[in-house]
């Protein structure tokens, strides 16, 4: 098997890399693909708790790198979806415990076993970032419509181009349709104009993301979440399907909601 290794990165922290990695891995698994989400944020691991797998960790990435266990042993299999897996980062070590060469080797091994290896990278552009992109075939940059996140995304795009990564995609997270409509939030065309990379998807602001992560559940596996639907759409696009962007004009006004309620009956 020659799977795809996709690194999820952003430069800025807190834009939703981990949530994205968890949910897109789950959505790909739900579509029947064998997927593994890899946490490379050594010292600040979080993918496990977002995915609800924090109690099942025995070995981690650094154990594999340092030869204390085989890769297979460190990978946790999700009980909710058979084809979903997770490789946790070490919590008691730092980024220097992993090297780009070691990551590239692990990625090569994962590529032979999984359809999709989704690598969640730490914030920043230092060694942790270099580790995370070392084995990547494709890179997804997660940004939000905020000036700080976009500026950092641009910096990351420059570094990825310097590292000769050819396949770079953009995901705009936490878009608020109402603010865009008012002209108080950068719109997708604005962001694409500034960053000049290919758009993979848009994820609307959705309170259910917080609720899901509170419970260690994955929004992409639940029907009602609009962000969850966006993750599912992104997974299908990764599989080569031509999925149109979700209509942005999601109006949360009471009147609009009532109108929709009546229309649907």
Partner 1 sequence: MGWLDTLMKHLSPGDQTQQSKQAAKERLKLALTYDRGGLAQGTIEQLRDEIIQVIAKHLTINKDEIEINFDRTSEQDKLIASIPLRMVPRSRSKAGAATTTAEPAPTRPSKKSSARQ
Binding site for partner 1 (CB under 8 A): 147, 150-151, 154-155, 158, 180, 182-187, 190, 193-194, 196, 253, 255
Whichever of 165 and 222 has its CB closer to partner 1, that residue is 165
Question: Nearer to partner 1 by C-beta: 101 or 161?
Answer: 161
DSSP string for residues in the chain? ---EEEEEE-SSSSSSHHHHHHHHHHHHHHTT--EEEEE--TTS--HHHHHT-GGG-SS-HHHHHTTSS-HHHHPEEPSSSTTEEEEPPPSSS-GGGS-HHHHHHHHHHHHHH-SEEEEEPPSSSSHHHHHHHHT-SEEEEEE-SSHHHHHHHHHHHHHHHHTT--EEEEEEEEE-HHHHHHT-S--HHHHHHHH--EEEEEEE--HHHHHHHHHT--GGGSSS-HHHHHHHHHHHHHTT--PPPPPS-----HHHHHHHHHHT-
For residue 132, the minimal CB distance to partner 1 (Å) is 21
User: In degrees rounded to 5, what are phi and psi of residue 241?
Assistant: -75, 145
Of 101 and 251, which has the nearer Cβ to partner 1? 251
Q: How far is the CB of 199 from partner 1 (least distance, A)?
A: 12
> Nearer to partner 1 by C-beta: 119 or 171?
171
**Least CB distance to partner 1 at residue 126 (A):** 17
The minimum distance between CB 159 and partner 1, in angstroms, equals: 11
Q: How far is the CB of 147 from partner 1 (least distance, A)?
A: 5
Q: Which is nearer to partner 1, 70 or 155 (CB)?
A: 155
Between residues 12 and 95, which has the closer beta carbon with respect to partner 1? 12
Min dist CB 31 to partner 1, Å, is: 30
Q: How far is CA 234 from CA 21, 170, 172, 200, 219, in A?
A: 11, 11, 11, 7, 13
Nearest approach in angstroms of CB 165 to partner 1 is: 16
Considering the complex, state which of residue 247 and residue 253 has its C-beta at the smaller distance from partner 1: 253
């Amino acid at each position: 098997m020659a799977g795809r290794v996709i690194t999820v990165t952003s430069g800025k922290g807190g834009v939703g890399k981990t949530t994205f990695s968890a949910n897109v891995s789950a959505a790909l698994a739900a579509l029947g693909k064998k997927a593994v989400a890899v946490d490379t944020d050594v010292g600040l691991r979080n993918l496990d708790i977002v995915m609800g797998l924090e109690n099942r960790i025995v070995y981690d990435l650094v154990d594999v790198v340092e030869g204390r266990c085989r890769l297979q042993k460190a990978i946790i299999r999700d009980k909710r979806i058979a084809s979903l897996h997770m490789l946790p980062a070490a919590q008691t070590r730092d980024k220097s415990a992993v090297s780009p060469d070691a990551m590239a080797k692990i990625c090569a091994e994962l590529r032979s076993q999984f359809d999709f290896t989704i690598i969640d990278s730490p914030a920043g552009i230092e060694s942790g970032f270099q580790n995370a992109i070392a084995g990547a075939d494709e890179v997804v940059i997660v940004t939000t419509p905020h000036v700080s996140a976009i500026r950092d995304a641009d910096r990351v795009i420059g570094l990825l181009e310097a590292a000769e990564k050819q396949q770079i995609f953009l995901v705009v997270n936490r878009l608020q349709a109402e603010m865009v409509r008012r002209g108080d939030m950068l719109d997708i065309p604005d962001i694409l104009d500034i960053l000049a990379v290919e758009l993979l998807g848009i994820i609307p602001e959705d309170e259910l993301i917080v609720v899901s992560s509170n419970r260690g559940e994955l929004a992409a596996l639940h029907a009602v979440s609009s962000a969850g639907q966006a993750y599912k759409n992104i997974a299908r696009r990764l599989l080569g399907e031509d999925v149109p962007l979700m209509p942005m004009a999601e109006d949360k006004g009471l009147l609009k909601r009532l109108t929709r309620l009546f229309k649907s009956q």
